[in-house]
Structure 1
Amino acid sequence: MDFLKMFSKNSKSSKNVAKERLKLVLIHDRADISPKFLQMLESDIVRVMSEYVEIDEEGLDVKMTRTKRESDGCSVPALVANIPIIKVKDR
């Protein structure tokens, strides 16, 4: 965490951070996905994408969340990945 961001007005309150963490724990639990499994999935995604692009792994963010399915509006687990791409590799 950036030291100066800790003191900015836009920083999240500890209540909101705790609430977000609890949501993630519940989503992982309901989706029956362990943190170890999520880490393995993240590693596989990075390995495959690294064949085609150079990735900023420090900025990588992979997490489970919930979304509504378009067909019936039912809430389902979703994998969300923010993967900063430095450059596309030449082939």
Structure 2
Amino acid sequence: MIDLFKFFGKEESKSKDIAKERLKLVLIHDRANISPKFLDMIKDDIIKVISNYMEIEEAGLDIRLSRIPQEDDTYSTALVANIPIRRVKNMGPNRG
């Protein structure tokens, strides 16, 4: 027999965790004084530069701001990029 309360409780827990992560991201953006539009501009520029040297999987691209704990119990903001690479482009003998 399936325990429906446990099943729905897991969904509620997942939704709660997702909401918590979204709130953290909003707070990080606010503290760093960076709008989502500005972050999208950075993301586009990163894609342009890296695409000169590598073929990337844009669907799997993840660029975000994150809080990094410091040794003195404070946090700093970091730009974290996860960029799946399909292949490195051939630079040829005259490039690089």
Give the alignment's TM-score, normalised by structure 1.
0.81
Q: What aligned pairs does 1:76-91 form with structure 2 within 5 A after superposition? A: 76-91=76-91
What is the CA distance between 1:73 and its match in structure 2?
Answer: 5.5
Structure 1 residues not aligned, in runs of 5+ = 1-8
Q: How many pairs were matched up?
A: 80
Larger radius of gyration: 2
What is the CA distance between 1:75 and its match in structure 2?
Answer: 1.1
Residue of structure 1 equivalent to 2:32: 31
Q: Which secondary structure does the structure 2 equivalent of 1:33 belong to?
A: coil
What is the CA distance between 1:80 and its match in structure 2?
Answer: 0.6
Residue of structure 2 equivalent to 1:44: 45
- Per-residue CA shift, 1:47-90, capped at 9, x if unaligned? 000000000000000000111346x5531110011000000000
What is the CA distance between 1:34 and its match in structure 2?
Answer: 0.2
Q: Percent of aligned positions with the same letter in both sequences? A: 60
Structure 2 residues not aligned, in runs of 5+ = 1-9, 92-96
- Per-residue CA shift, 1:18-58, capped at 9, x if unaligned? 00000000000000000000000000000000000000000
For 1:75 and 1:64, locate their aligned partners in 2 and report how far apart those are by CA, in whole Å: 12
Misfit runs of 4+, over 2 Å = none
